[in-house]
Amino acid sequence: MAGLSLQHPWAFAFGLLGNLISFTTYLAPIPTFYRIYKSKSTEGFQSVPYVVALFSAMLWIFYALIKSNESLLITINAAGCVIETIYIVIYLAYAPKKAKVFTTKILLGLNVGMFGLILLLTLLLSHGQQRVVSLGWVCVAFSVSVFVAPLSIIRRVIETRSVEYMPFSLSLTLTLSAIVWFLYGLLIKDKYVALPNVLGFTFGVVQMGLYVFYMNATPVIAGEKAAKLAAEEENHVVVNVAKLSATPERISCSDQVHPVTEMAATVVVAGAAVPTTCAAAAAQEPEVVVEPAAVRVAAAV
């Protein structure tokens, strides 16, 4: 079998290594879903990356079956299908109704509708080697679109001068995965496996370079927030002086003058009842969840 034959020992080695690296990348979101399970809430996390990862794994399994003798592609993407399905089930169990409906729609549209359409068109409109070629280019096109997705993260890092949303370990793992799968595709002479990983390697190197460049930089957003909070504090002082002169017998929590560090933790929720104490106000503040960089598909692409 291709990749397993003794005539391709290096292909087998790189394919096996690619399975191991990609498997660890599939497991990367476990802390996120453990947090969802513990809190019984999705806390603003998105389901799209996991639905897309499931679709990619399904697509590559179909390609491997059509081409035949691609066991190493099947094993890692079969594992990916199982893991991503578990993630999606957990997400649906704890997501609010609106998020459940949205996730169900994209599951039906992408993983059922789009995949079913690709399957039917491939089987009905092409035959033999032409079927492999057609499906191979479909896989390449989808993989390229997945690798282009992190451009938004790169732009965000440059604009904010912050690497908060782009963990270095994830960029490194995905870069190594792209290198390994490129070499695997090159050795078995499969351009549909090799080509997308050239782009994956390029974006991975760019992300790691940006991380090194901006890891010690002062975030732009932090500076803007500090200036805004300073202006708000000054406004509080002016308003409080007027209120103190008018009604000295009553000072509410909102009338108190807070230092910038304390004000930064204040969240104003429209329509919420005003607590009787500042401590109560702090206790009622909702947690703002920021998910790390979008999870790229950790499949053999």
260 domain residue, yes or no: no
Amino acid in position 213: F
pLDDT per residue as tens digits for the range 38-67:
999 987 788 888 998 899 999 999 999 998
Residue indicated by tokens 């595709």: 185
Residue 95 has which token pair? 């997501």
271 domain residue, yes or no: no
The yes-or-no verdict on residue 105 having pLDDT over 90 is yes
42 domain residue, yes or no: yes
Burial 24-52 (b: 16+ CB within 10 A, else e): ebbebbeebbeebeeeeebbebebebbbb
CA distance 3 to 17: 12
235 domain residue, yes or no: no
95 domain residue, yes or no: yes
CA distance 290 to 164: 9
pLDDT at residue 160, as a whole number? 84
DSSP state of 172: H
DSSP state of 41: S
Q: How many residues does the chain have?
A: 301
249 domain residue, yes or no: no
pLDDT per residue as tens digits for the range 128-156:
788 899 899 999 888 877 776 666 678 87
- Per the CB < 8 A criterion, the answer to whether 166 and 286 are in contact is no
295 domain residue, yes or no: no
pLDDT at residue 149, as a whole number? 63
**Exposed, middle or buried by CB within 10 Å (0-12, 13-18, 19+), for 80?**
buried
Number of domains in the chain: 1
pLDDT at residue 101, as a whole number? 95
139 domain residue, yes or no: yes
Give the predicted TM-score (pTM) of the model: 0.68
Q: In terms of residue numbers, what domain contains 207?
A: 9-215
How far CA 268 is from CA of 37, 236, 284, in Å, comes to 27, 15, 10
The yes-or-no verdict on residue 88 having pLDDT over 90 is yes
pLDDT at residue 103, as a whole number? 94
pLDDT per residue as tens digits for the range 208-267:
888 888 888 888 755 455 455 455 544 444 333 333 344 444 444 444 444 333 333 444
pLDDT per residue as tens digits for the range 1-27:
444 444 578 888 999 999 999 999 899
The predicted model gives 119-126 an average pLDDT of: 88
Compute the radius of gyration of the chain from its Cα atoms: 25
